[in-house]
Amino acid sequence: MRLPSRLHLKESRDFARIKERGSSQAGRFFVLAVLQDPTVSDFQFGLVTSRKVGKAVVRNRVRRQLREIIRAHRAKIAPGWKFVTIARWRAADAAFADMEQDWLRLAKRQGLLLKPAPSAP
């Protein structure tokens, strides 16, 4: 199942605004930059994979894996956020599970994930 295109950041000014006004956290495989935007009903995201990550085949694989991580955890992502995930050069050789764990840790640290509901006693 694909993510709807309305969730993708498409314009460079959106990427620049997140970099300028938002906050970022660096992890082992990614840098996650976030900006809270109440005008967004769900969330919007962008992916950046530079040539430092590898050749086109490698960059495309990393982007596919990132989209899958976001798709799998879509229900956990709080509405009203715009975020950009920047792949670091280590992401090219990382296992999918390690990438997923790193991204979730960064998202939790940035407050991007919904708080779990308290369990009843």
Average pLDDT over residues 16-30: 95
Q: Which residues span the domain enclosing 73?
A: 5-110
Backbone φ, ψ for residue 119 (5° rounding):
-80, 150
Query: What residues contact 94, with CB distance under 8 A and at least 6 apart?
Result: 28, 29, 102
Paired sense of beta strands 43-48 and 30-36, if any: unpaired
Question: Is position 116 within any domain?
Answer: no
CATH for 43: 3.30.230.10
State pLDDT tens for residues 57-93.
Answer: 999 999 999 999 999 999 999 999 999 999 999 999 9
Average pLDDT over residues 37-46: 92
Question: Is position 120 within any domain?
Answer: no
Question: Is position 40 within any domain?
Answer: yes
Question: Is position 115 within any domain?
Answer: no
Q: Which carries the bigger pLDDT value, residue 117 or residue 90?
A: 90
Question: Is position 118 within any domain?
Answer: no
Question: Is position 51 within any domain?
Answer: yes
Q: What is the pLDDT of residue 117?
A: 62
Question: Is position 119 within any domain?
Answer: no
Domains: count for the chain: 1
